[in-house]
Structure formats: C-alpha cells, structure tokens
A and B are shown apart, each in its own frame.
Chain A
Amino acid sequence: MLAKPTRKNVQGNAACALGAIAAGCKFYAGYPITPSSEIAEGMARELPKVDGFFVQMEDEIASMGAVIGASLGGVKSMTATSGPGFSLKQENLGYAAMTETPCVIANVMRGGPSTGMPTRPGQGDIMQARWGTHGDHPIIALTPASVGEIYSETIRAFNLSERLRVPVVILIDEAIGHLLETIDLTPPDPETLITRKWATGDKDAFLPFAETDDLVPPMAKPGDGYRTHTTGLTHDEKGFPTQVPEKGERAVMRLLDKLDHHAKLIQSFEVLQCDDADVVITAFGISARAAKRAVKNLRSNGIKVGLFRPITLWPFPHEAFQKATKNATSVVVAEMNAGQLVLEIERLVNQKQTVHRLNRIDGEVFTPQEIETVIQEIVS
C-alpha cells in the first residue's frame, strides 16, 4: 500500500535530510559549515527517530572518514558540507571510490575560491566534484534544481551509491539549499529503495573485488565471516595490494567501466523544447530555473530556443546532450562560475555549432532577462 501524499513547505537543505532518511540513511557524520548546516541539524533531529546515529566530528576529514567507516560496517551513510569542507573531504572521498564504499556527500555550493562568499550561492565546485581527489576515479554528481528535486535526488543518490558502490555527490547551490517550496514528501515505495548486494555463499572462494558481470561485486559484511581486507592501495580481486601492472590497471579500469556499463541507470536530464531550437541553453541548478523562464519568454516572441538541463552532471549525459542540440546552431552555457561546464560542452558540439558563455561569479543568481538578452543578440 502506498503512503498517502504529504505536502509540506520545507527548505532545500531540510529536504536533503528528509530525503536521506526516506532513503534509509542511518548514519551521518559532519562538521558545521555555512550554507549547509541545516542538513546536519536535520539529521541530528531525525536520525534518532529511526534508530540511526548522528555524530559531529572534529573536522571535515574525520566526518568523511567516519561516514566511510560506518558504511564499511554496512550502514547507509552520508555527510554534507560546502566548498572549503569539500576540499578537505577529497582524500577520503578517493578512498571511498577506490574501495567501492557507498556514501553520499551533499555539497551546498557557495561562492569560492577559498572561504569565498559563505552566504552567497555559487556553482564553482563542479569540476572539483569531478576531479577533486587525485587519480582516475569514478564519481557521480547530481544537481537538483528545486526543493522537491533535492528530496528525490537525495533518495536517488543513495540508490545509485548502494547499487554501484560508488560515492555520490549532490551539488546544491546555496540558492536552492535555502529556498522554501511546498513539496510532496510521500515516502518512496520501499520496493524502490536499493541496498547493496551482500556476499553470500562460499567464504573461502569469495573474491571481494571480483570482475562480476555487472562490474559491481557484492560486499562482505564484517561479522559475516568473510574476513576480507579493504585498502586504498591498488588491489587485486582478493583485495590485497598488487604491483602487478595488468592487475593494477584492470582494478582501476573496472571502477571506471562500471559507470559506463550503468550509464542508463545513472543519467538523468530534462530536455525542454529542443527539437526545433536554433539555440539551446545548457544550465543546471538555480541557473536552469532562470533559463527555463527565458525559454518561455523568448518562445512567446517566436524565438526558437530550448533548454538542456543535466540533472546527473557527472558522468555528463553526452548522448542526450548531442541529441537535444542536433538541430541547434548555438549553445549557451549559463553557469555561476567563470566557465567550467562549458569546457565539457565545447568537447561535445560539432564544428558548425558555436558555444557562448554566460557566467556570474558575484554571488548573485541569473535573471531570465540577462539570459534572454544574450540569446536575442545571438539570433539577431
């Protein structure tokens, strides 16, 4: 039986905490940082109600470590932070990627670099989300554009992380994190919630990092008698460090192939009026909302413009983007940074298409009018 719909006026960050609880999160470790603290506060309030554990750690590094430790113990775990804290989490984030430990990290983005503008929105951490930790590693990053989507994407983040054993980052810009909207908080159908596959069967023959068909080996739960070894060192299928070149290469390649193999599951995007569009705007998060309004206004003036909004930012939905922009001559990338997503877009357009950059790094959000002005200039 499905639960009855519950509509509530909630803040974006609170919706993240509620989504995590709905997804089955039972452990949160964090450190206070603006503008994400309401997520920690929400978890501190909600977790005890579901017999979960909240702990405020001594720093951002420790909170990421504790989240991974709890997940290695078999519990769905998350943390939240903002730019400076996200920098500190990168080392352990790489460990989670290498050891295939599920975990969710919300980054409520503020203006950067460094301490930047703590209370102002930004979208400058997207390349950090992709490449923040060292080495070639898999990562998934999601970019919700509304309070309702923060709730549903947080649930999806846990599902993806558990299904694929990969860390998932939720990139929320401060503007949406602190937005109040009325959303549907109907708990998801329990059948749709995913929990990682646990090792079963022969204990001696079990290979914790085996090359399984779906490239996601089951995890051994400590206490179940599998006695496995987990290390950030490049390891073989047994989990022990290896210096054998082919084994080392394959171990890392499987992590990367895993995301390609499951691309369909991971990718999520919105395509709005792109079929006949001469100009396609690409934007995510709060910027996509201004872009959406711009599309509406321009269309009413007969200008053929559409919107491609990646919800899964990494891995970027390449094919969907190319399909959406098939008939376009121009692509406008509107983002609240000095030009990061545009680098990815420039790789994906064909030689006949031109790419226009629209950027803000002043801690203000885009208005539909400034996007409209740019597009009017392009079409005239």
Chain B
Amino acid sequence: MSNQQHISAEEFDVRDYMRLELFPHFLCPGCGHGMALRAMMWALYENNISMDKLAVVCGIGCSGRLGAYIDSNTFHTTHGRPLAFATGLALARPDLHVVVITGDGDCLAIGGNHLIHACRRNVNMTCLMLNNEVYGMTGGQVSPTTSKDRYTTTTPYGNREPVFDACKLAEAAGAGFVGREVTMQVPTLKDLIKQAFDYNGFSFVEIISDCTEVFGRKNQLGESAEMILSQKAGTRPDSYGNKVDEPFHPNALKTGVLAMTGRPEYRAHMQPFKKEG
C-alpha cells in the first residue's frame, strides 16, 4: 500500500466508517472487541483501503457480529466457516481486500480445519482472530483457548484441557505472516494489523481481547480496566499456562510479528493456461 498516512488517535474518527444507524451496538460495556475493531478500522484508513473495495467476512459469535457495523461489503457467514467463504471470494475477486474477523471458538474449534488449510494455501487475505478465551455469545462456555483451571458454564470445576497456541499453529501450518497483540495497546495493534494488510498472502493476527461480562465476571477478574491491564502486565501469562502445574507454554505470551516468510501467494503457483492449437 502506497501513500500510507499516520493519523493520530484524536484525528481518526472511527464513526466516519461505521453504520451508525445500527447503533447502539450490541457489545457489553468494557468488551475488548470494540478496541480490536477500532484498531482494524484505523489500520484500513491509514493503509488507504477503500471501503468500496473492502470485503469483511465474519463467522459466528460476538466477534462475528462486528462486521455489520462496518460501512463496507460485509458478510456474516456460518459458524467456523468464514475462511472457507473468504477463500472463494478472494479467488473469484482478487481486486477486493478481504479481511476475516473470527473468534477463538469460531476459528480454532469448529473452524480449525479451515484455519490450517487457509494457512497452508496462502491466499491473499487477513484473518483477525479475537481471542477472549470463551464462547461469549452463547453464555460463556469453555473454548480451545480458555486458560487452565478457569471457570466457565461448561467447566464448573475448572478447565482441565490445555490451550491452543493459535500463532504457533498458524505458523506451523504455513501462514506467511503471523502476529499477536493485545487490545490494551490500540496504536501498536493498529500498526501490526497494517503490516498484516500489506502482506501479500495469508496473514494471521491473534488479538488478545477480553470478555468482561461473561468470562471476567465468572472468574472474578475485575472490571474491564483491570482485565486489560493484566493483558499488558504479562500479556495475560496465565492464559498460556504460567500458573498451572504443567505449563503448556511456560513463557509469557509473545506479541508483535512472530513470523513472516516470503512464501509466494497462492496464485503465484498458477501458470497461465496455454490454450491448445
């Protein structure tokens, strides 16, 4: 993207790019998803991506509902399948800038197979996975990223399952660009998303978000501000096992660009067809 601009947080008014007629939005007070959406919109703006040429493909869940608020071409698809829809759309319409918004349940549980193959295939699009450790929309059930020992409505005695490291998964499956950031640092998150948008190939960004209303309340993690601050303090270390007996991921969660390869984009493998005769 040429002509990149840098617009300060004060100058950038996200409302110019939203469908304000749908407001008030459905997010609970303090939900981290709002900051993730703001960072994404800010990145689009700074990268000069036209809202007419943008296609936002969402799955199902609290993350999936974000698309409707964006004043663009928006698709709210089926649970776990946005990457499959986006693959068809991006292959059919390479002129569109395709962004997928998904959640930890949508992307890693029901949609896990689509994630690994989207990483492998490397079709040009950006996947933003909002990880809030829980199925918020359905009332707070355990997800593949719920920290060990956490309480959810389906882990009344604490979660016994280890968590997925989505970024390691994406990198191992071949994603050309992998990054992670917390919602606490919106400008940093915005800069990471911009890099992902610029990458020609499949870019995957895990955004550590917070479900204040359901997950936070159930686990007495405090108000929104406390939850967000805990992201910054250790990038939510316990979410990857620091406080458990058998650490799944003993180090604090890494953020920033975690992997970037020069893998050719999907279409680069296609030879133009030589017509016979």
Contact = CB atoms under 8 A, between A and B. Distances in A.
Interface in B69-106: 71-78, 81, 83-93, 95-96
B76 A231 contact: yes
Interface in A55-84: 55, 57-59, 61-75, 77
A225 interface: yes
Nearest to B267: A53
B277 to A, nearest CB: 11
Nearest to A50: B273
B10 interface: no
Q: What's the dominant secondary structure at chain B's contact region?
A: mixed
Given A58-B113, A222-B96, A77 B81 contact: no
Given A72-B89, A73-B92, A229-B68, A57 B84 contact: yes
Contacts of A353: none
Contacts, number: 131
Nearest to A226: B73
Given A53-B91, A73-B89, A230-B76, A92 B275 contact: no
A77 B85 CA distance: 12
Nearest to A55: B91
Given A222-B93, A229-B74, A233-B76, A69 B114 contact: no
A317 interface: no
Contacts of A64: 84
Given A74-B92, A95-B78, A227-B73, A240 B22 contact: yes
A75 B84 CA distance: 16
Contact of A59 (B57, B89, B113): B113
Interface in B230-277: 273, 275
Interface residues of A, number: 45
A342 to B, nearest CB: 33
A241 interface: yes
Interface in B126-174: none
B16 interface: no
B87 A55 contact: yes
Interface in A38-61: 48-49, 51, 53, 55, 57-59, 61
Contact of B273 (A48, A61, A72): A48
Interface stretch (B27-35, B48-56, B188-196): B48-56
A5 interface: no
Contacts of A223: 52-53, 73, 93, 95-96
A29 interface: yes
B67 interface: yes
Contact of B114 (A58, A222, A227): A58
A26 interface: yes
A132 interface: no
Interface of A: 26-27, 29, 48-49, 51, 53, 55, 57-59, 61-75, 77, 91-92, 95, 220, 222-233, 240-241
Smallest CB-CB A-B distances: 9 pairs: A69-B88, A65-B84, A66-B88, A69-B85, A70-B88, A70-B92, A62-B84, A231-B76, A69-B89
Interface of B: 19, 22, 51-53, 55, 57, 67-68, 71-78, 81, 83-93, 95-96, 113-114, 116-117, 273, 275
30 contacts: A27-B88, A27-B91, A27-B92, A29-B87, A48-B273, A49-B273, A51-B273, A57-B117, A58-B114, A62-B117, A65-B78, A68-B85, A69-B57, A72-B85, A72-B88, A72-B89, A73-B88, A73-B93, A74-B92, A91-B78, A92-B78, A95-B78, A222-B73, A223-B53, A227-B52, A229-B67, A229-B75, A231-B68, A231-B75, A233-B76
